[in-house]
């Protein structure tokens, strides 16, 4: 299989995490690191806007990789998502619920030019 890189997933809901893992593995990403491997992307659920800044800061301290934020607390649509991403200091926010196509498109956008 053509391996595209390791993506770290920080999602508390077991079912959603399993679905994200399946979708990413199907297109060639790894979701379990090989020894010493750093992620090319971090996908993190942010359940509450109140705790978002501290959670994002902790992830940025832990990983030297872009962060794709997932949350059911953000409005759908480009303008709302772009503004939320700017406020949080991340490149992209993907509001829940989202489709497989939307997730993979967001991942591609985040990693564009990173390789």
- The pLDDT tens digits for 12-64 are 999 999 999 999 999 999 998 777 789 999 999 988 777 788 899 999 999 99
CA distance 85 to 67: 10
Q: What pTM does this model have?
A: 0.85
Class of domain 5-111: alpha beta
The pLDDT, as a whole number, for residue 78 is 46
Which H/E stretch holds residue 33?
none
Structure tokens at 5: 């890189």
Residue spans of the domains in the chain: they are 5-111
pLDDT band at 2 (very low <50, low <70, confident <90, very high): low
């Amino acid at each position: 299989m053509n391996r595209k890189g390791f993506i770290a997933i920080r999602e508390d809901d077991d079912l959603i995490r399993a679905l994200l893992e399946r979708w990413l593995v199907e297109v060639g990403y790894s979701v379990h690191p090989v020894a010493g491997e750093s992620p090319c992307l971090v996908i993190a659920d942010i359940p509450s806007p109140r705790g978002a800044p501290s959670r994002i800061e902790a992830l940025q301290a832990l990983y030297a990789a872009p962060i794709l934020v997932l949350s059911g607390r953000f409005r759908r649509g480009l303008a709302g998502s772009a503004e939320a991403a700017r406020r949080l200091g991340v490149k992209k926010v993907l509001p829940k619920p989202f489709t497989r196509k939307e997730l993979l498109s967001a991942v591609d956008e985040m990693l564009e030019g990173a390789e």
